[in-house]
Structure 1
Amino acid sequence: MIEVEVKAKINSFEEMEEKLAEIGATKTKKEFQEDIYFNSPVVDFAKTDEALRIRTTKENDEENIFITYKGPKINKEAKTRKEIEMGIENAQECSDIFEAIGFKKVRAVRKNRQYYSYEDFEISLDDVEGLDPYMEIEIGLNDGEDYTEAQNSIFELFEKLGITDGFERTSYLELLETFNIN
């Protein structure tokens, strides 16, 4: 799958919730996410622009765990890249396997995320520990599909919501590392 994603800093969650309601977006869920990122023993993911993480999500009493690999970004305007994700049973055992074969833990990224659905878009309002409020808009494509139209439609939706600047191509991990936030 190809993930086309654009992230922007926002002023407040309340303001965005109102704007999302005005355009008819539907709130679908709210969850806590903890992402544990790893670096490869073979290549430096920070240099190759790849990511490997174990994500644990918690919504009410339900917990889900996934391994996600994200390939290098394909273009310069958005975070468009290949994504492979698989559900697993035990985050600690997976982490132990990664570390046993040479992968190194980089850091954890924790956030509360509210999801919205609007047309073909998945929208999230992200309250990341250590960062300002952000909103992400994403569309998933099949391998080989042209991402340009999807990317343009994401920027059009941001404009419809009154956001024309504050866009960020870097991941939350990179933002936390850049500002050296523990």
Structure 2
Amino acid sequence: MIEVEVKAKIDSFKEIEEKLEKLGAEKSKHEFQEDIYFNSPVVDFAKTDEALRIRTTKQNDETNIFITYKGPKIDQKSKTRKEIEMGIEDSQKCAGIFEEIGFNKVRAVRKNRQYYKYENFEISLDDVEGLTPYMEIEVELNDGEDYSEAQNSIFELFEELGITDGFERTSYLELLENIYK
């Protein structure tokens, strides 16, 4: 799968929520996410622009856990990249396996995320511990599909919501790493 994603810093969740409501976007879910990132013993993911994480999501009484690999970004405008994800049952055992084979824990990223659906877009408002408010808009494509049209439509939606700057290609992990160096 190819994930076409654009992230922007926003001033206010309330203001964006009102604009999304006027647009006709529907709230789909709210969840807490904790991502534990790992670095490879073979290559430095910070240099290769890859990511490996264990994500635990909590929504009401439901907990889900996933391993996610994100490949390097494939363009200069967005965070478009290949993504492979798989559900697992135990984050601690998985982390233990990663560490036993040489992967190192880098950092945890914790956020409350409000999701919206609008047409083929998934929109999230992210309250990340240690960062200012952000909004992400993404579209998922099959491998091999041209991502440029999806990317353009994401930027058009941002513009329709009044957001024309504050775009960020770095991950929340990188933003936090830069703050806490």
Q: TM-score, normalised by structure 2?
A: 0.99
Shift of 1:31: 0.1
Counterpart for residue 155 of structure 1:
155
Counterpart for residue 9 of structure 2:
9
Distance in 2 of aligned mates of 1:22 and 1:61: 31
SS at match of 1:79: coil
Counterpart for residue 104 of structure 1:
104
Distance in 2 of aligned mates of 1:170 and 1:4: 14
Shift of 1:180: 1.0
Distance in 2 of aligned mates of 1:95 and 1:180: 23
1:117-166 Cα distance to aligned partner (Å, 9 max, x none): 00000000000000000000000000000000000000000000000000
Shift of 1:12: 0.5
> Is there any run of 5+ residues in structure 2 with no aligned partner, and where?
none
Q: Does 1:94 align with 2:94?
A: yes
Counterpart for residue 59 of structure 1:
59
Distance in 2 of aligned mates of 1:64 and 1:124: 18
Shift of 1:26: 0.2
Q: Which amino acid aligns with 2:34?
A: E
Counterpart for residue 49 of structure 1:
49
Counterpart for residue 123 of structure 1:
123
Q: Which amino acid aligns with 1:167?
A: F
Shift of 1:179: 1.1
| % identical aligned pairs | 82
Distance in 1 of aligned mates of 2:64 and 2:119: 26
SS at match of 2:177: helix
SS at match of 1:149: helix
Counterpart for residue 168 of structure 2:
168
Distance in 2 of aligned mates of 1:41 and 1:30: 35
Distance in 2 of aligned mates of 1:11 and 1:155: 18
> Is there any run of 5+ residues in structure 1 with no aligned partner, and where?
none
Distance in 1 of aligned mates of 2:175 and 2:48: 16
SS at match of 2:41: coil
Distance in 1 of aligned mates of 2:107 and 2:167: 23
- When the two structures are aligned, how many residues end up with a matched partner? 181
Q: Which amino acid aligns with 2:82?
A: K
Q: Which amino acid aligns with 1:174?
A: E
Shift of 1:30: 0.1
